[in-house]
A and B are shown apart, each in its own frame.
Chain A
């Protein structure tokens, strides 16, 4: 098991390198100089030259990529680019310097990320929480009471939530919330309010975007939970549990659900990748200054340094979730062994 995890972790490196290089290559193909886009109509040949010089865009392309990678892995003593003191005064740790974004302010990507990551992480955590809450109990209930109105309602609503695109659902929430209930989408004029500062305002800001994202995922979770429960409930050990005279609650929640949720775990892992994409849409719709909106803005600006940093992060999340899912699998089902 330990060897398997280590081997998988080593595989992360080529994938991350490949993904970031692919992004770098794609954005070097795009015509349109980021320096020209950044300066707009006020650009003069001198300022563009200075900008290109400052961001090292005049270097040989392979060297540009190499410099970027070196700044990330370069071992440093003390605190890294995120300002986090990794406690490595003696042993050097990676610097994690992701470069400076190609905007007027020339902000370091890490500075932007520090500001925006909490927003996206909170959005994703809340989404997952809501999705599980709205997905698993209805799935289980509809499987143990097939054919009842409850089953019918949860199945139909799952098809419905699966079909309504998140962007449309978000617009409906904003439009009809504003027009009928006089509810305005959380204004980020006052900025992101951390949960620790004011939990009530924070939840107001995040509830609806998270709900819109969660409904679609909950539908997928519900459907899989239902079919997986139906399968499990036919097993012999469930019949044994019934014939032992156990209460329904024990049979269902103790014996069946635990096994039925194994495929659901994989699904949740897969959904996390899609969720990152979903944040791009929802954050621009609800005007949340998170990583998703940052990605969209960076792509539109041809700010490839930022985009490749973000994609690197996304790829890391994707690869690590897959690894965690595989490990969770072996942990949940003792029959699975990784050599």
Chain B
């Protein structure tokens, strides 16, 4: 008998071999290559955002300069010479240039690919003695390295004020990450609080909260965000004043983010918008949760409403809240980009992907300087693509029945983000 009983046991062992978590992850990743790609993009966002200082080759706000040889002196010059003769100047011809002895500088007018630029060559430091130069001395010109195309020194090129686009794109990841993290924390906390309250108490409380939610949801998302941020982000708004004066949120550069307070205010606005949608969804979950017998048991044992909500309802909606947070994260990142693009979000020198897509960069793009808008936008698109592909893979894994078909919830959820 004992032997007979052992046989089916062996069979089950064979049918369900134990798979190590690593092996399981490998199998899953082979089945969902797009999910792996999504994970990669999201990972890149995390790495770029967390280690911006280490990765960025330049200060994202620095106006980079470039020093170029512009020719050489054909004869030696003394301190009081009014004219100098320069070889290999500009188009290659020798030129005679007037020297402005007052300022001790030489002004050249160089025509570069049709554009005229005034170059300035120092002949000694202002306030010190004028220098003499030997014949053959190379003249150099230093100017802001503006709108230079992608090259070895600046892989993504530079923008109109000489900022390195690669560094700005990398620091843009930090802004996006920060906005996403702060907005989602605020939004999910407030939303869950009111959602649980509304669902648990029902009646007048529920009616009041849900009618307010109705009204806010009737706003188009962009208009709502613009309105909220126009209100709280204003220089003399009470909310901004309060945050500046009564909270330790720094106004200047913090965590490598210039104008931290303004970035925080934008995140707060997005968080408020997120909280409305969260409240609606959490309320729905609480409505069915509170019908459970264990809630009734807790009440019968004399637990207070606050205790039931905190100890029995909240732990059960926590998983849903985490899912909501992951769905809203790319939407928050997109929302920041959209409102910064419209000129209401993150203020100028702060490197933000959305803000870099507008203003002078956009005008330059129309004239052929495409790199200052192309790369930040590409980064934004890849991050959203990454979140979408990751989400699809998770949905496939959790519901294999759909076999790559995308569920309605995810579709409309991401679609809302697309709308922004």
Residue ranges of A at the interface with B (Cβ–Cβ < 8 Å): 14-15, 18-19, 22-23, 26-27, 29-32, 143, 146, 155-156, 159-168, 171-172, 174-176, 178-179, 216-217, 219-220, 223-224, 226-228, 230-231, 263, 267, 270-271, 273-278, 280-281, 284, 295-296, 299-300, 302, 307, 310-311, 314-315, 318-319
List the 4 closest pairs (A to B, CB-CB), nearest first.
A274-B419, A227-B405, A277-B222, A163-B385
Q: Which residues of A contact B212 (CB under 8 A)?
A: 18
Residue B7, interface by CB 8 Å: no
Chain B hits for A15, CB < 8 A:
214-215, 218
Q: Is the CB of B222 within 8 A of A280?
A: yes
Known: A167-B354, A216-B415. A30 touches B223 (CB 8 A): no
Which residue of A has the minimal Cβ distance to B224? Answer: A277
Contact at B418–A220, with CB atoms within 8 Å? yes
Secondary structure at the B interface, as helix, strand, loop or mixed, is: helix
**A167, A270, A276 interface centre (most CB from chain B within 10 Å):** A167
User: What are the residues of chain A within 8 A of B389 when measuring CB–CB?
Assistant: 159
Contact A276 B408 (CB under 8 A): no
CB neighbors of A among B204-252 (8 A): 211-212, 214-223, 226-228, 230-231, 234, 236-238
Contacts known (A172-B377, A176-B370); A314 close to B218, Cβ less than 8 A: yes
A163 pairs with B384, CB closer than 8 A? yes
Choose the segment among B189-197, B277-285, B288-296, B336-344 that binds chain A (4+ C-beta atoms closer than 8 Å): B336-344
B97-127, CB < 8 A from A: none
Complex Cα distance, B391 from A223, in Å, reads 14
Q: Total interface residues on B, using CB and 8 Å?
A: 63
List the B side residues contacting A163 at CB < 8 Å: 381-382, 384-385, 388, 418
- Assess A31 versus B362: contact at CB under 8 Å? Given A162-B415, A165-B380, A230-B405: no
Q: Which residues of B contact A27 (CB under 8 A)?
A: 227, 231
Interface centre among A143, A165, A267 (most CB of B within 10 A): A165
Residues of chain B with a CB closer than 8 A to A32's CB? 234, 236
Q: A143-B405, A267-B411, A277-B420 are in contact. List 11 more A-B contacts (CB 8 A).
A: A23-B227, A26-B227, A162-B388, A172-B377, A227-B411, A271-B419, A274-B415, A277-B221, A277-B223, A302-B230, A318-B220
Check if A284 sits within 8 Å of B342, measured CB to CB: yes
Is B286's CB within 8 Å of the partner chain A? Answer: no
Query: Is the beta-carbon distance between A167 and B341 smaller than 8 angstroms?
Result: yes
Q: Does B412 have its Cβ within 8 Å of any Cβ on chain A?
A: yes
Give 7 A-B contacts (CB < 8 Å), ordered by A residue: A26-B231, A29-B238, A143-B405, A163-B382, A220-B411, A271-B419, A280-B222
